[in-house]
Structure 1
C-alpha cells in the first residue's frame, strides 16, 4: 500500500472508523494515482482501517486504472449496473460491522447519500475531508518538482501572451495564441479558463475575457496556469501597452512592494495571517486599501484552490512543504487593476519561488 493510503488507513483505525468512501476525483487521484472525470457516473475509493482498498469505477475506465499501477481490487460496472449495490456486496463479503463511515461531506450529494444510506445505516457519518486536506497540504519533494515544471510552463505561457500583444487584438485573440502554443508544448489542459483582461476590465479580479480590443495606455492582465501530471500552476502578471501614466506606475509599484513583503513574511512557523497582513499593510499605507478586495493567496496542488486559505484571520503556522500562491492586487474601476502572483513553497530555511517571469513593470 502506498504511503498516502497507509496514512489514511492508519487514521481510520485511530478514529475507529469502519470504512471511508472517497468520491471526489482529486482525492481519489491523491490516494490511488488514478485521475478520472467520471461525469455523472460514480468514481470512488473504498478504504478500510485494515485490509486492502478497492477502486470503484465505470467499466470503460478499468484499463486506464490498471495502467496507472493500481494493484488492488477494482469494482467496475457497466451502465446497467447499480454501483451502490456492488459496494455493499463488497463490504458484506469482508464481514465488517459497519458503525462509522467517513465521506467527503461537501462533495457527496444528497441523492448519493440517500443511495449509500439505503445499504449502510451507520450510526455515525464522519467527514474525511479535514484529514485529506491535512495530508494534501504538505507536499513532498516529488510533488514540488512537478509543481516546478508546471510553473515553468506557466512562465512560458505569459511570455507568449506578452509577445502577442498588439493594438486592436482582443482578449480572446491573445488567449487563442497562448493556448495554441501551450498545446504545441505538450500541455493537454490548463489549470482553469485562461484569463487575459485589458483596460478597465482588469479592475475585475475575476473578469470574463471577451472581444475587448487592446488600446494604448491599457493595463493587460494575464492569469493562467497549466496541469502537469495532475498538479496545477497559477501565475498572474500585469503589463502596460504603449505608455504608463504616473497613477498606473504608482498602483503597479505598490502591488509589487506588497507582493515582495508577503513573500518575505513566508517563513516556517509564521502564522498564515501575517502573510496576508504584510501585503495588506503596504497597500493600505499607500492609500489603496479599499481596492484590495481578496485574500493574499490560496493553497495550490492537485486543485487550483486547496488548503491552506491565505487570509488575514488564519492562525495556522506555515510548515515545510506547504505550497500556495501570493497574489495581492489593486483594482480601481476608473483606471484598471494590477495583480502579481507567484507560486511558492515553504522550505526548511524560508520560502522557494516556483514561478519566475519578471515582475518589474513592463511597458510593451
Structure 2
C-alpha cells in the first residue's frame, strides 16, 4: 500500500488525515494513496494508517470511491462529516497532516472538529514517498509521455502561416485528448517568434509568419499522471543564428541527459548543461533550472537545479530542459521526461529533436 510508504519516513505518527477543500484545494496525495480513477473528491478526506485506508466522501463520489476497493464512509451533510472525523480519530492522539496542502481555513476547521489532538507535519514524508515512482505510476507517466509525443506528430502538419498561437495551442490539446489524454497537464504554451524568449509565455493572437521560432511546451494527463515536453521548430528556413542557438541547446541537453543515473546529484547535471551554454556567446541566457520532478503534479518536486542539493534515485521521473532565451530574437527549449535508473536513464518522450523547418 502506498500509505505504508508515507509512514516509512515519519516518526511518532501512525495515523494521518488527508483532507480536500474546494476545487483549488485538492491534495494530490488523496489520489496517490487511493488510485481513484474518477471523481474530484471536493470536501473529502482520508483516514490512513500504514495498513489501512478509509475514504470519507459524499454521495456524489460514492461510486468512484468504492471502485478503489478501500473502505468508504459516506456523509450527507457537513455536520455528518464532522461527526465522522471526530469518531474515527477519537482514539488517536498524534495525527499527521500534510501542511503543504492545507489552507489556513481548513486547518482552523480541523482544530474545531478535533481540538484535543497533536498535529504533526508529515508533508516532507509525503514528498519523499511520492518522489520514487512505483511500477503502476511509471506505466501511467510513460503513457502520458507517449500521448504527448504522438500528438506532436499529429499537430505538425496542421501548422500554417497566419494561424495564431491560441489556434495552435487548441490543436495540441485536441490531439492529446484524441490520443487518450484526459486533459492537459498545464496550460499549453505556444510562442511564435520573439515571444519564445519568455519561458512562461501565455499564447495570444500573434500570427505565425516565415522565419518565426515555434516553441510548444505541453503535457498530457493520463489517469491523473502528467507528462511535460517542449519542442522548438522554425517556420520556413532557419537563419544561421537560429540554427546556432538550437544546436547549442540540443548539445546541452544531450550531454547532461547521458549523465543521469542513480546517486548523481541533480545540481551536477544542471552544471553540465549550464557550462555548455555559458561557454558560448549566449552566456547567462539559460535562465531557469534544468529540470524538475514529474508525477501527479507536473512540477512534482525540485530535481536538477544549481541551487538545490538533490541526489537522484532509481524510479524518479525528471525533466531535462535546457534553453536559451534572447529578448527580441526568440528562444529555444528542448524538454524531455526521463526515468532515472540504477545505471542510466530511459527517455520517455520520444518525438524527434532534430531541428524541424516547417
- TM-score of the superposition, structure 1-length normalised? 0.91
- 1:257 equivalent in structure 2: 251
Residue of structure 2 equivalent to 1:69 = 69
Deviates more, 1:199-208 or 1:54-63: 54-63
* Residue equivalent to 2:198: 204
Q: Secondary structure at the match of 1:221?
A: strand
* Contact kept? 1:323, 1:345, Cα under 8 Å: yes
Do the aligned partners of 1:235 and 1:355 also contact (CA within 8 Å) in 2? yes
Query: Which residue does the alignment assign to 1:6?
Result: 4
Q: Cα gap change, 1:291/1:82 in structure 2, threshold over 3 Å: closer, same or farther? A: farther
Q: Secondary structure at the match of 2:85?
A: helix
Does the Cα contact within 8 Å between 1:101 and 1:122 map onto a contact in 2?
no
Q: How many residues align?
A: 351
1:82 shift after superposition:
5.0
Structure 1: distance between partners of 2:8 and 2:306: 33
Secondary structure of the residue that 2:55 maps to in structure 1? strand
Aligned to 1:85: 83
Specify every segment of 5 or more residues in structure 1 that has no aligned partner in the other structure, as ranges. Answer: none
Taking structure 1 as reference, are residues 97 and 182 closer, same or farther at Cα in structure 2, changes over 3 Å only? closer
Contact conserved, 2:148 with 2:176, CA < 8 A, in 1? no
Corresponding residue for 2:56? 56
Q: 1:246 aligned to 240, 246, 254, which one?
A: 240
Give the alignment partner of residue 143 of structure 1, picking from 122, 137, 153: 137
Q: How far has the Cα of 1:154 moved from its partner? A: 0.5
Question: What is residue 31 of structure 1 aligned with on the other side?
Answer: 33
* Closer/same/farther in 2, CA of residues 351 and 186 from structure 1, 3 Å limit: closer
CA contact (8 A) 1:25 1:37 kept: no
C-alpha separation between the residues in 2 aligned to 1:87 and 1:26? Answer: 20
Deviations 1:27-49 (A, max 9, x none): 011111125424xx412211136
Deviation at 1:261, TM superposition (A): 1.6
Deviations 1:196-230 (A, max 9, x none): 11111111101010111101000001111111122
2:144–2:181: 8 Å Cα contact kept in structure 1? no
Per-residue CA shift, 1:230-266, capped at 9, x if unaligned? 2111110000001111111111111111111210221
Confirm whether residue 218 of structure 1 aligns to residue 219 of structure 2: no
Change in 2 beyond 3 A, CA 1:47/1:207: same
For residue 174 of structure 1, report the CA deviation from its aligned partner: 1.3
Change (3 A) 1:311 1:11: closer
Name 1:126's counterpart in structure 2: 120
SS in 2 for 1:106: helix
Query: Distance between the aligned counterparts of 2:9 and 2:204, measured in 1?
Result: 48
Judge conservation of contact 1:299–1:308 (CA < 8 Å) in 2: yes
Q: What is the CA distance between 1:25 and its match in structure 2?
A: 3.4
Per the TM alignment, residue 291 of structure 1 is displaced from its structure 2 partner at its CA by 1.5
Bigger Cα displacement from structure 2, 115-124 vs 242-251:
115-124
**CA distance in 2 between partners of 1:218 and 1:346 (Å):** 35
Distance (Å, rounded) in 2 between the aligned partners of 1:248 and 1:292: 15
Question: Residue 329 in 1 paired to residue 323 in 2?
Answer: yes
The answer to whether the 8 A contact 1:22-1:46 is kept is yes
TM-score normalized by the length of structure 2: 0.92
1:22 alignment partner in structure 2: 18
* Corresponding residue SS for 1:25: coil
Contact 1:265 1:274 in 2 (8 A): no
CA offset at residue 187 of structure 1? Answer: 2.3
CA RMSD of aligned residues (A): 1.9
Give the 3 Å change call, closer, same or farther, for CA 300–218 of structure 1 in structure 2.
same
Does residue 1:113 correspond to 2:128, yes or no? Answer: no
Q: Take 1:340 and 1:83, find their aligned partners in 2: how far apart are those partners? A: 47
Provide, for residues 39-72 of structure 1, a one-character-per-residue CA deviation record: whole Å limited to 9, x for no partner: xx412211136x73321222210111112322x2
SS at match of 2:301: strand
Q: Is the 8 A contact 1:25 1:43 kept in 2?
A: no
**Would the alpha carbon gap of residues 193 and 117 (structure 1) be closer, same or farther in structure 2, given more than 3 Å must change?**
same
Match of 2:172 among 172, 178, 183: 178
- Which sections of structure 2, spanning at least 5 residues, go unmatched? 20-25
After superposition, give the CA deviation of every residue in 1:70-109 in whole Å (9 maximum; x if it has no partner).
2x2x2322245352332012222xxx141x2211112111
